[in-house]
Structure 1
């Protein structure tokens, strides 16, 4: 009929479209949650303990399994390096004339190995050394107890790990140590002391580097 106005969709149509939009949005959220679950993603407020991370420092070198006899006029020795905050032995080959049986030569050779930078294989395994490059060792002085070795620095003035390395490397060598101990002195007239290498020294060198040190009369 002429004059009648044609109106658009009733207001109720808007409500229907609004409900349909809400339903579609809810369906999208549910689908997204299902997809995340399918990808293995968990939502939780509780921390999950996956255990300790695998160690990158096994403190074991590849050359250990391929150890061979030392060349002529050389001997195989053990020294202590630092690895994972502990003392761990490594095998080294040094040139020493065993026929001379001079403990000082052995002490100097071991000290030189302790001061040297670990090779690439040892570094990859986590080994390091704290023994100062300038440290020197000399023979006993007159009046020193038998077997004393004199260092160019007072033993107790060395870094804790360095002293533990020297003590255990010397104490474990049969030509230098006795019963797991070694006699060490420093410069000057200070009385030498006996240092004992124990299992605790090896496991915690930074805390007990002089454990078992014995004063001599």
Structure 2
């Protein structure tokens, strides 16, 4: 039997189907609106979730010290500046001389920050393999020899180390931290200034003193 082409033929079933489809679309839109979600055909990047205030560690997140350790300030990088955090060092480190104190502080400043510090924005640029050795014959008093030439470290790493050592009186000679490298270059004195802390990435910091 041939389908009817008469325009007067009843169209009720077709209309009912269209109405039902439209109702389903409207219902879906209403559900989305009720959930507070605006429909969109374009992916939306809302950005990262808000983080805690950078460079501030809640007291509960401060690194726990053992009874045989003391807190020592260590400079880390946060918000493009140098900021101190308290790290535990062996209580006898200061009494073991300048080299013992330097090694204990280097262990902390080169250490990857724990999760609590990373969440607050802290990081370190000091190489994990960096070591500190005793001075050589003919070095100025108070010299510490690094396993890398100080000038071969990044500006930030050198600033971190100098400012960390400058907080310890045993590692300061005539107002500066005296550092040398593994080569034959003479040791030099490095200063930790307010500019060093504010702009550690600046190639002119820390200030350098040529020693006699």
1:195 paired with 2:190, answer: yes
1:118 to 113, 122, 128: 113
Structure-to-structure mapping, 1:118-157, within 5 angstroms: 118-157=113-152
Which residue of 2 is the match for residue 204 of structure 1? 199
Q: 1:82 maps to which residue?
A: 77
Pairing partner for 1:61 from 45, 54, 57: 57
Aligned Cα RMSD in Å?
2.3
Could you say what secondary structure the match of 1:127 adopts? Answer: coil
Report the CA distance shift for 1:67/1:158 in structure 2 as closer, same or farther (over 3 A). closer
2:160 counterpart (156, 165, 172)? 165
TM-score (norm 2): 0.70
Q: Which runs of 5+ in 1 are unaligned?
A: 1-53
Q: TM-score by structure 1 length?
A: 0.68
For 1:96-137, what per-residue CA distance to the aligned partner results, in whole angstroms no more than 9, with x for missing partners? 425843211111111111111101111111000000011110
Unaligned stretches of 5+ residues in structure 2: 1-49
CA–CA separation in structure 1 for the residues paired with 2:120 and 2:66: 25
| d(CA) in 2 for partners of 1:190, 1:144 | 10
Structure 2 contact 125–157 (Cα < 8 Å) conserved: yes
Give the paired residue count. Answer: 163
Q: Give the Cα separation in 1 of the matches to 2:127 and 2:56.
A: 24
**CA 1:180–1:168: 2 relative to 1, 3 Å:** farther
In 2, Cα distance between the equivalents of 1:178 and 1:170? 11
Contact 2:195–2:205 at 8 Å: present in 1 too?
A: no
What SS class does the counterpart of residue 133 from structure 1 fall into? coil
1:215 correspondence with 2:177? no
CA distance 1:168–1:179, shift in 2 (3 Å)? farther
Alpha-carbon shift at residue 57 of structure 1 (Å) = 4.5
Q: CA deviation at 1:58?
A: 2.2
User: In structure 2, how many angstroms separate the alpha carbons of the residues matched to 1:152 and 1:98?
Assistant: 20
CA apart distance, 1:174: 1.3
Deviations 1:154-189 (A, max 9, x none): 101101100000010011111112465200000121
Secondary structure of the residue that 1:142 maps to in structure 2?
coil
- SS state of the match for residue 209, structure 2? coil
